[in-house]
Amino acid sequence: MMENSKFYTRSKIWLEDSQGNVVFGLGRYRILNEIKHQGSLNAAAKKLKMGYRAIWARIHATEERLGQSLLVKKVGGTSGGGSQLTPLAEDLLKRFDKIRINIEQKTDLLFEEDLGSHMVINPKKDSKTGKLCGKGNQEEDIDSPNRALL
């Protein structure tokens, strides 16, 4: 790791119903986004390296919990089948992405304000004393509560 490296916080967010069942999260976001780009559940499943049934089950569970459809399905035939996102699904993608980005930005800021200044990038250990050398070549005892968090 280089001396000018920077750390970033990451967290997972999802929406649950009152029984603790997942309604929407990054996995379902990726599924819907891939369906949007591929035009079908089957193509999205292949692109995501998931089974068709697994994708269908997640979408179906979310639709049940929301009480609304996320996909408009075309039955196969000579032109083949396919799926399109409903306006609700499109809105979910936009709003979830906005919330996710906002949370990442705010947690990065909080991290920088509260913890970032205490992080030592690539600390060096003094070969004679066994102590970590922090910022400004100050040595800190390895067992010190103020030592670098790695």
List the domains of the chain with CATH numbers. 14-114 (1.10.10.10), 121-150 (no CATH)
Residue 139: pLDDT over 50: no
Q: Indicate if the pLDDT at residue 92 is higher than 80.
A: yes
pLDDT one-digit tens code per residue, 9-68: 778 899 999 999 999 999 999 999 999 999 999 999 999 999 999 999 999 999 999 999
Closest by alpha carbon to 140, among 110, 88, 15, 129? 129
Give all strands (DSSP E) within the chain, no chain letters.
14-16, 22-25, 71-74, 82-85, 124-125, 132-133, 139-140
Instruction: Report the alpha-carbon distance of residue 54 to residue 136 in Å, rounded.
Output: 53
Neighbours of 73 (CB within 10 A): 12
pLDDT tens by residue, 79-88: 677 999 999 9
pLDDT at 125 over 90: no
